[in-house]
Chains A and B, each alone.
Chain A
């Protein structure tokens, strides 16, 4: 499967020292009330994408995340389970995954399909598969966002993501504007539904002759890795390769299965 990338946007908390909420209000003149940090992060990435991408009303929006909105779960858990209080209506609404999608769609003026999804098995890769299948059917374009928020409860993020306690974790949001057609694209991303063994993936890497990047989950693969963890790392590396105008491979691993995607600059 191949999807064409028409535009990208990124933010990482360890690389930019900004107040995301203030940025949304001051730079993008957006109303940030009734939202929380996870939603703000998702909207920031979308607004940055809009600066370089043409967004259409019928664009399909797919958002994915390693775990979703931790803060609102913590806040409501304290309120309802511990303090036996009524949940606040907007905390209840923000607990729903697609609330984030709603605010992103609204900020972009998008009224097309709107999916919030999570997979234990390669959440970003699987989202690309869903997007490919959807665009093949609709002939629309897609906005793909990958969001991971590390906030006050960073241990919760580590526990749920299954990473060691001493690993650095960061908040991140990365978007791509995707199409099944090459017109006006800057890069292509190729991927498939297949997973590979370590031996198979090493053989594929050797055959390609391309530079290889990998998730921190792939410590046994000879490849350049991030120095900080976030679940949707693949989305970040795609954007990084495109910014550096570099065709390369990316490897992700989970439960001793490996997946591969290739970015080719156009």
Chain B
């Protein structure tokens, strides 16, 4: 069976498009913004990585922003190839169609005459498939922070069964009052910045992003070696401090890829910079890898983009490596485990082949993806 390749990828992040995001990472010129979360008598200003051009949390605006990224990603596909391209969306967005249906039903002052047309969160995909001539097979996967990386693993399965010629995976996250409020209520937000694996880490910074990854057979340096996804945690929001659940998913991803830990050259950590998640993750890393493992975190550049982070951080890592460097971890000064220090100085790409990318989410969803870059 031919390897499933990553044929193209695009980004819309707080730093801009693919090229701008890569340059921002390279130059360390990171742009971030802030949002006000208003609750009762309290107005809380939180740091936030917003898209450069504001996108309202509303279906049509999200659709147009997503379309721009998708169009760039499939620009090289013919009409016939597009018709054989399935579309999978990974997001934790609250369905705007559902919110509107709720508002139009339950509030007297917003009530509208009854009308019905089937609209769900997946209408973003269905409408886009119709407009851009993609295959009508669309799915929206919602597994919190693992949504779009899980979509990528499902895409690999669909392609290996030869059900489609290509699958386009989109990760999408746009700021919403409900998500910001939810994270604030759980006291998971940093008031300043993300400090991955740092002793003084105090939480995550949310971010908006749209990223698309086109997979299929074809010419590309990048392929999906394998991966594993499971549901394994001690409760709905966290795993054990020892990180044994993360160890389990990483080991299974290695097994699925016919690799051993020593074969991994670069590890992209999930690294939310929350006190509990980072502790579990670095403990897991220390159980799988020797302390010379090169690991890095990407969220300080773009924020935690929740359901989008799977596709986004794949695209960011590939873009940096294709530009000749392994991105350093910013915001870190003193590691939770001193022997395990994330990459603090940018490193020139030196022909590394095996890349592990970790993603962990609420609901016990843990995913580890392994990508390979073949030498030119």
Chain A: residues with CB nearer than 8 A to chain B? 61, 66-68, 70, 73-74, 76-78, 80-82, 84-89, 91-93, 95-99, 101-103, 105-106, 110-121, 123, 126-127, 129-130, 132-134, 136-137, 153, 155-156, 158-165, 193, 195, 254, 257
CB–CB A119/B114 < 8 A: no
Q: Which residues of A contact B337 (CB under 8 A)?
A: none
Cβ of B39 < 8 Å from any Cβ of A?
yes
Given A86-B39, A133-B158, A156-B102, check contact A105 B231 (CB 8 Å).
yes
By the criterion CB–CB under 8 Å, are B150 and A115 in contact? yes
With A89-B182, A93-B237, A99-B236 as known contacts, state yes or no: A118 contacts B114, CB within 8 Å. no
Contact of B365 among A67, A98, A110 (CB under 8 A): A98
22 inter-chain pairs at a CB distance below 8 angstroms, sorted by A residue, are A67-B98, A68-B98, A73-B102, A78-B106, A87-B178, A91-B182, A92-B178, A96-B92, A97-B143, A101-B143, A114-B365, A120-B125, A120-B138, A129-B163, A132-B161, A134-B154, A156-B106, A160-B98, A161-B118, A162-B118, A165-B116, A257-B136
Whether a CB of chain A sits under 8 angstroms from the CB of B363 is yes
Shortest distance in angstroms between A154's beta carbon and chain B's nearest beta carbon? Answer: 9
Which B residues are CB-close (under 8 A) to A84?
A: 38-40
Within 8 A of A (CB), among B282-300: none
B116 engages A164 (CB within 8 Å): yes
- Chain B 226-239 near chain A by CB (<8 Å), digits 1 or 0: 00011111001100
Q: Are A102 and B160 in contact (CB under 8 A)?
A: no
- Given A101-B231, A129-B163, 17 extra CB contacts under 8 A: A77-B103, A84-B40, A92-B185, A97-B142, A113-B231, A117-B142, A118-B139, A119-B139, A120-B123, A120-B138, A126-B137, A137-B156, A137-B160, A153-B105, A159-B115, A160-B101, A165-B114
- B186 beta carbon closer than 8 Å to chain A: yes
A105 contact from B125, B144, B362, B364, Cβ within 8 A = B364
| Closest chain B residue to A63, Cβ basis | B142
Does B336 sit within 8 A of A, measured CB to CB?
no
A162 x B117 contact (CB < 8 A): yes
Q: Does B185 lie within 8 Å of A87, measured CB to CB? A: yes
Tell me, rounded to whole Å, the shortest Cβ–Cβ distance linking A98 to chain B. 4
Whether B178 lies near A156 (C-beta < 8 A) is no
Q: In the complex, A136→B158 CA distance in Å?
A: 10
Residue of A nearest to B140 (CB): A118
Interface residues of B in 99-139 (CB under 8 A from A): 99, 101-107, 114-123, 125-126, 129, 135-139
- If A96-B363, A126-B139 touch, whether A82 touches B39 (CB-CB below 8 Å) is no
Assess the B231–A155 pair: CB atoms within 8 A: no
Contact A136-B136, Cβ < 8 Å, known A93-B236, A101-B231, A118-B121: no
Q: Are B160 and A159 in contact (CB under 8 A)?
A: no
Chain B residue contacts of A119, Cβ below 8 A = 120, 122, 125-126, 138-140
B99 touches A77 (CB 8 A): yes
User: Nearest chain A CB to B335's CB is how many angstroms away?
Assistant: 30
Chain B nearest Cβ from A155, distance in angstroms: 5
Is there contact, CB below 8 Å, between A114 and B39? Answer: no
Nearest chain A CB to B349 CB, angstrom units: 30
- Sorted nearest first, the 4 A-B pairs with minimum C-beta distance are A92-B182, A162-B118, A97-B142, A114-B231
Decide yes or no whether B181 CB sits under 8 A from chain A: yes
Interface of chain B residues 78 through 109 with chain A (CB within 8 A): 92, 94-95, 97-99, 101-107
Closest approach, in angstroms, between the C-beta of A166 and any C-beta of chain B? 10
B154 contacts A133, CB within 8 Å?
yes
Q: Name the one of B120, B150, B182 contacting A95, with C-beta atoms under 8 angstroms.
A: B182
B interface majority secondary structure = mixed
Provide the residues of chain A in CB contact with B374, threshold 8 Å. Answer: none
17-43 of chain B: CB within 8 A of chain A: 38-40
Given contacts A96-B142, A114-B143, A114-B365, contact A159 B114 (CB under 8 A): yes
The interface on chain B, measured as residues whose beta carbon lies within 8 A of the other chain's beta carbons, has a size of 68
B158 touches A111 (CB 8 A): no
Instruction: With both chains docked as a complex, state the minimum distance between the C-beta of A204 and any C-beta of chain B, in angstroms.
Output: 18
* Residue in A77, A91, A93, A96 with the greatest tally of chain B CB atoms within 10 Å: A96
Which B residues touch A78, using CB under 8 A? 106
Closest B residue by C-beta to A130 = B154
Cβ distance B77 to chain A, nearest Cβ, rounded Å? 18
Tell me the complex Cα distance, A102–B231, Å.
Answer: 7
Asked whether B54 is an interface residue with its Cβ less than 8 Å from the other chain, the reply is no
Name the B residues within 8 Å of A127 (CB-CB).
Answer: 139
B116→A113 contact, CB < 8 A: no
A68 CA / B185 CA spacing, docked (Å): 23
Q: B301: shortest Cβ distance to chain A, in Å?
A: 25
B157 interface residue per 8 A CB criterion: yes
Cα distance A110–B231 in the bound complex, in angstroms: 8
Q: Is the CB of A254 within 8 A of B118?
A: yes
Q: Which one of B39, B95, B126 lies within 8 Å of A67 (CB-CB)? A: B95
For chain B, residues 38 to 81, give those with C-beta under 8 angstroms from any C-beta of chain A: 38-40
Question: What residues of A have a CB within 8 angstroms of the CB of B142 in the complex?
Answer: 68, 96-98, 116-118
Please name all residues of chain A whose beta carbon is closer than 8 Å to the beta carbon of B117 when the two chains form the complex.
162
Q: Which residues from B are CB-within-8-Å of A130?
A: 139, 154, 157-158
Name the one of B102, B143, B157, B160 contacting A153, with C-beta atoms under 8 angstroms. B102
Q: Which residues of B contact A137 (CB under 8 A)?
A: 156-157, 160-161
* Residue in B closest to A161 when the chains form the complex, CB atoms: B118
Query: How far, in angstroms, from A119 to B129 measured CA to CA in the complex?
Result: 12
B177 interfacial by beta-carbon distance below 8 Å: yes
Is B184 an interface position by the 8 A CB rule? yes
Shortest C-beta distance, B90 to chain A (Å), equals: 10
CB neighbours (8 Å) of B161 from chain A are 132-133, 136-137
